[in-house]
Structure 1
Amino acid sequence: MRILVVTSQFPIAGEPNRGRPLLQTISALSRLADVRVVSPVAMYPAWARPNSYLFRAPDATTRQVDGCEVTYAPYPAVPLLSRPLNGWLCGRAVGRAIAGFAPDVMLSYWLYPDAYGAMLAARRAGVPLVSGARGSDLRVRDQVSRLLTRPVLSASRRLLVVSDDLGNVAVERYDMDPERIRVIPNGCDASIFHPASRAEARRELGIASEAQLIAYVGRLVPEKGLNELLDAVQSLSGACPQLELAMIGDGPMRSEIAERLQAEPRLRVHMAGAQAPAEVARWMAAANLVTLPSYSEGHPNVLVEALACGRAVVATDVGGIPEVVDDGCGILVRPRDAAALAHALTRALDRDWDEKALSRRFSRDWNAVASDTLQACKEAVGETRRALRADVRDADVRAADAQGAEAAHRVSSVHS
């Protein structure tokens, strides 16, 4: 099967770890099918560049990323002003990028504008569309994106979501047919994320043995609850002088956080920057616990990886997080509540967690994710072909009926 993947949630020059779960899914999928990737890249004028990600133009139009052939497809955009047109602009860029590749199915992650553009390209190519939602692309807040997401879901033969919660959102907000929804949770690479010596990891990273280390892994953006996290750590630092926070990742808040740390020297924070998966696992091994105080999430892979490393988690009770975290492996708190977060962090640090039990909670690998994804694509292709055959049969019946009516009319004319 030939699968064209369309997604902007893929490594780019400014964010080499962008879309890592999708990269792992697609890399495994490429071992099961003939896969090409087109990654649309919004090109903003320098004066209007948004703060949502660290932008750098792609260093090559086409390159290999973990065994996947990726074509970066730039299209012009202006924040807010071009939003109603971004899906069409994205579709035009995708159409140019797929010349010479005749897919059986289009698989697109991120509903607008990526999957909207893929929808237009799929129609031109006469192939079915399978869409994948990650979280905030279903829980869109602006009216324009919400309006333009609806036709994507209507056109999708299958919708892939990472949690039951997201499936419910698709049904309740967009009237999506539940029969077309497939829940495919993220996997975990057990060769990287597994229990390891905390003492050894701390020696390698230069962390004191007596430190109470909390790790955050993800983009440095306000929506991840980082202001609340810093407030919580600051409120605890007086009573717990051994408390330290490691922030592994990069993003628009980096300079803002650095300024805050200069103004508040009691905050002991390690700004580790974006790291490769093996280094992320090392930081998790060094930590006492991992936290993710986001305002919204789908099925956050960082929590699966933390548990695979035998580390308990403190996270917000939003989206698909409760499908990953329960009382046996962590503590859930309300979002946007620094006091509740501080209390949960204290409780988690005081509790004696069973590392081996935590590490056994998830055993699903990326090959299983890829297999489920391929099955959904096969379903979409089979369903489309059956519908085409039915249309041909209906057309043949209509033609036969028309011919019969014409013949009857001629006979009637002769007798009259």
Structure 2
Amino acid sequence: MTRIALVTPMLPVPHDMTRGRYIHETGRSLSRMAEVKVFFQQARYPRLPLIAPRSFIDGTVGSDHQVDGLELETFTYPVLPVVSRAINGHVSGHLLLPRVKAFKPDIVLAYWVYPDGYAAVRVARQLGVPAVVGALGSDIHVRSGINDFMTRKTIREADALLTVSEAMRQTAIREFDAPADKVHTIVNGFNTSVFHPRDQQTMRQQLGMDADESSIVYVGRFVEAKGLRELLTAFTALRQTRPKLKLNLVGDGVMKAELLELIRQSNLGDAVRVPGGMEPQKVAEWICASDVLTLPSWSEGYPNVVVEGAACGRPVVATDVGGTREIIDEHNGILIPPRDPLALQQALEHALDRAWDHQAIAARMQRTWDDVAVETLQVCEDLLRHRQR
């Protein structure tokens, strides 16, 4: 069997169970088809006031951290926000090399372009094996000086680049000069045993919701770029004509305190639920208990929660960014421009009023994580065969 060293900073952790769920699922499926060892490298920030990441909850886990279905080795590397950005790939690569070398892989597969993909490419070169880098979304959509330069360098030097949407593939080719023949689109799947239609009334009873309520659900990180301020603005306006409407914010993140304060200031305490981050099974229950799922992000790769929402038979109101239009059309949801609270309000109103065919929405979602793993392994094995010629 092919030996794959999978490198990533994105996996579920106790303080953020939604982080890297797509990588966890891909890695777990891939482990049934190849010998996979996952190297979970985490940036370790200094414990100083005002120094913390802006886009995710800070915190590392110990070397004994385990994730279901994965052979895992966890370690940290030191970083300073902004200051060390140019060398993060070198530092993490230095610590990664002996670990991957001991595993003796046939190929190195990294998810997240910089610094992790960069480190993986350097390690692969030193070991004389191919390197595949997977881009997930904000790792190529968020552009900044040195990060942009290092991302471009990583994409250029990798033997293959995986993207989660065709839109992202075109971005890599157009804006990062990636050779078209080495960029492969492998869109995300979903767990069919978890995300499927369930009886709405049963789910509402289990979650303590009113049987006759109308509700909207958001699932994801609480960060600015997810459009949560716009969502609260739109929801506040909707409540003027729908006083019994509820909003379920399922997740956690660095914006949680701000969101709770906005909810308080808007007198929405009885209308907005914030149950926290949770396991996929519970996420599916919240989706099925609600009427509409929304994702008003400013940017996305291939948003898995949109797939999961549709798989549960729920219509989706989402912004037309990244690969979202590859999932949503007039039969299963509504697309709107980003950063537009009025458009969001109107789309949510239309979605709540429309009679949707929930079974038909769910039936269109068929792609599994095994499908993703098969295609990923195919890219890896094609590279290995090419090297043996």
Partner of 1:400: none
* 2:54 paired with 1:54: no
For the Cα contact (< 8 Å) 1:12–1:56, is it kept in 2? no
> 2: distance between equivalents of 1:121 and 1:131?
12
TM-aligned CA deviation for residue 62 of structure 1:
4.2
The one of 300, 304, 325 aligned to 1:301: 304
Distance across 1 between alignment mates of 2:18 and 2:246: 24
The answer on 1:376 being equivalent to 2:376 is no
2:321 to 314, 318, 321: 318
Tell me the CA shift for residue 100 of structure 1. Answer: 1.8
Deviation at 1:53, TM superposition (A): 1.6
Q: What is the deviation of 1:369?
A: 0.7
| Whole-Å separation in 1 of the counterparts to 2:387 and 2:153 | 17
Q: Is 1:353 the counterpart of 2:362 in the alignment?
A: no
Please state how far the C-alpha of 1:383 moved relative to its aligned partner.
2.2
Shift of 1:291: 0.2
Which residue of the other structure, out of 338, 342, 355, is the alignment partner of 1:339? 342
Aligned mates of 2:259, 2:201 — CA distance in 1: 28
Q: 1:391 — aligned with what?
A: none
Q: Deviations over 1:311-356 (max 9, x none)?
A: 0000001110000001111011110010110010000000000011
2:224 alignment partner in structure 1 = 222
| Aligned pairs for 1:27-42 within 5 A | 27-42=28-43
Counterpart pick for 1:362 among 362, 365, 373: 365
- Give 2:382's aligned amino acid: E
Q: Among residues 213, 238, 241, which one is paired with 1:239 in the alignment?
A: 241
CA deviation digits over 1:358-410, x for unaligned, max 9? Answer: 00111111111111110011112222333xxxxxxxxxxxxxxxxxxxxxxxx
Q: By how many angstroms is 1:63 displaced?
A: 4.2
In 2: Cα distance, 1:67 partner to 1:315 partner: 32
Cα RMSD for the two superposed structures? 1.2
Residue identity matched to 1:351: R
TM-score (norm 1): 0.90
Give the distance between the partners of 2:65 and 2:290, measured in 1 at CA: 36
1:237-276, aligned counterparts within 5 Å?
237-266=239-268, 268-276=271-279
Larger radius of gyration: 1
Q: Deviations over 1:138-187 (max 9, x none)?
A: 22310211101112111222111111001000100111111111111111
In the alignment, what sits opposite 1:152?
154
Equivalent residue of 2:252, what SS?
coil
Describe how 1:102-121 pairs up with structure 2 within 5 A. 102-121=104-123
Counterpart of 1:283 (choices 286, 306, 316) is: 286
67 and 266 in structure 1: CA distance in 2 versus 1, 3 angstrom threshold: closer
Offset of 1:188 from its aligned partner?
1.2
Deviation at 1:96, TM superposition (A): 3.3
| Partner Cα distance (1:140, 1:249) in 2 | 22
Q: Percent identity?
A: 41
CA distance in 1, matches of 2:129, 2:180: 22
What is the distance in 2 between the residues matched to 1:287 and 1:166? Answer: 30
Inter-partner Cα distance in structure 1 for 2:13 and 2:78: 17
Structure 1 distance, partners of 2:82, 2:38, is 27
2:135 counterpart residue number: 133
Aligned residue runs from structure 1 range 157-176, under 5 A: 157-176=159-178
> Where do 5+ consecutive residues of structure 1 fail to align?
387-416
Query: In structure 2, what is the Cα distance between the partners aligned to 1:278 and 1:364?
Result: 18
Q: Provide the C-alpha distance between the structure 1 equivalents of 2:190 and 2:208, rounded to a whole number of angstroms.
A: 27
CA distance in 1, matches of 2:364, 2:97: 42
| TM-score normalised per structure 2 | 0.97
Could you report, residue by residue, the CA deviation over 1:109-147 in whole angstroms, capped at 9, with x for unpaired residues?
100000001011111111100010011112231021110
Which residue identity lines up with residue 22 of structure 1 in the other structure? I
Q: Distance in 1 between matches of 2:239 and 2:45?
A: 41
**C-alpha distance after superposition, 1:209-264 (max 9, x if no partner):** 22110000000101000000000001111210121100111101111111122222
| Separation (CA, whole Å) in 1 of partners of 2:136 and 2:253 | 19
Contact 2:315-2:333 within 8 A present in 1 as well: yes
After TM superposition, the runs of 4+ consecutive aligned structure 1 residues lying more than 3 A away are none
Distance 1:138 1:265 in 2: 38
Decide whether the 8 Å contact of 2:165 with 2:323 is kept in 1.
Answer: yes
Note the 1:58-69 alignment, pairs <5 A: 58=61, 60-69=62-71
Query: Unpaired runs of 5+ in structure 2?
Result: none
What residue in structure 2 maps to residue 16 of structure 1? 17
How big is each residue's C-alpha offset from its partner over 1:68-95, in whole Å with a ceiling of 9 and x where there is no partner? 1111221110000000001101111211
| Partners of 1:100 and 1:156 in 2: CA distance | 22
